[in-house]
């Protein structure tokens, strides 16, 4: 059985568009057959997040590892925004997984703004 290249399985964003000043976390999960040789990291417009935010306003969490049924491992890493700024909506945040078997990446897609309706929704 050939080892598969790593792959991003999910990038989780908040269900609603973040508000300015809010503390926000985005999560990335990846699958790797060689977790001990795999890097999972975040880029902002192609640069390492920590190099652009030495103050920690945007920072990566630690990599967490879990088991996968197929024998590989899931890797999980969060991206934390201490005080969300609307400019981040127009910034390219990318989760990257890299191993000797290959590379995969996925961009953050922020949720669309909630539609404004004239009446409040009821639960029925």
CATH of the domain at 72: 2.60.40.10
pTM for the structure as a whole: 0.87
Establish if 117 belongs to a structural domain: no
Residue 72: pLDDT band with limits 50, 70, 90: confident
Record the tokens describing residue 111, joined without a space.
């949720």
Question: Pick from 8, 23, 16: which is nearest to 59 by CA?
Answer: 23
% of the chain at pLDDT higher than 70: 88
Mean pLDDT across 82-106:
97
**What residue numbers bound the domain in which 29 lies?**
7-107
Report the pLDDT value the prediction gives residue 67, as an integer from 0 to 100: 79
Q: Among all chains, which residue has been given the structure tokens 């945007």? A: 58
Residues 6+ apart with CB under 8 A from 54: none
In a domain, 115, yes or no: no
Confidence at 124, pLDDT banded by 50, 70, 90: very low
- Does some domain include residue 84? yes
- 81 in any annotated domain: yes
Query: For residue 20, which phi and psi values (nearest 5 degrees)?
Result: -55, 135
β-bridge pairing 39-44 and 93-99: antiparallel
- For 9-71, the DSSP string reads EEEE--SSPPPTT--EEEEEEEEES-GGG-EEEEEETTEEHHHH-TTSSEEE---EEEE-TTS
- For the stretch 13-65, pLDDT in tens is 999 999 999 999 999 999 999 999 999 999 999 999 999 999 999 999 999 99
Structural domains counted in the chain = 1
Average pLDDT over residues 1-10: 89
């Amino acid at each position: 059985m050939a080892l598969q290249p790593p792959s991003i399985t999910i990038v989780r964003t908040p269900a609603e568009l973040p508000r300015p000043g809010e503390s926000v976390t985005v999560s990335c999960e990846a699958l790797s057959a060689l977790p001990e040789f795999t890097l999972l990291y975040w880029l902002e417009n192609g640069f390492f997040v920590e190099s652009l935010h030495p103050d920690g306003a945007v920072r990566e969490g630690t990599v967490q590892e879990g088991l996968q049924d197929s024998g590989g491992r899931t890797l999980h890493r969060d991206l934390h925004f201490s005080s969300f700024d609307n400019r981040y909506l127009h910034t390219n945040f990318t989760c990257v997984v890299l191993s000797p078997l290959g590379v995969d990446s996925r961009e953050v897609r922020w949720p669309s703004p909630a539609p404004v309706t004239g009446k409040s929704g009821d639960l029925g």
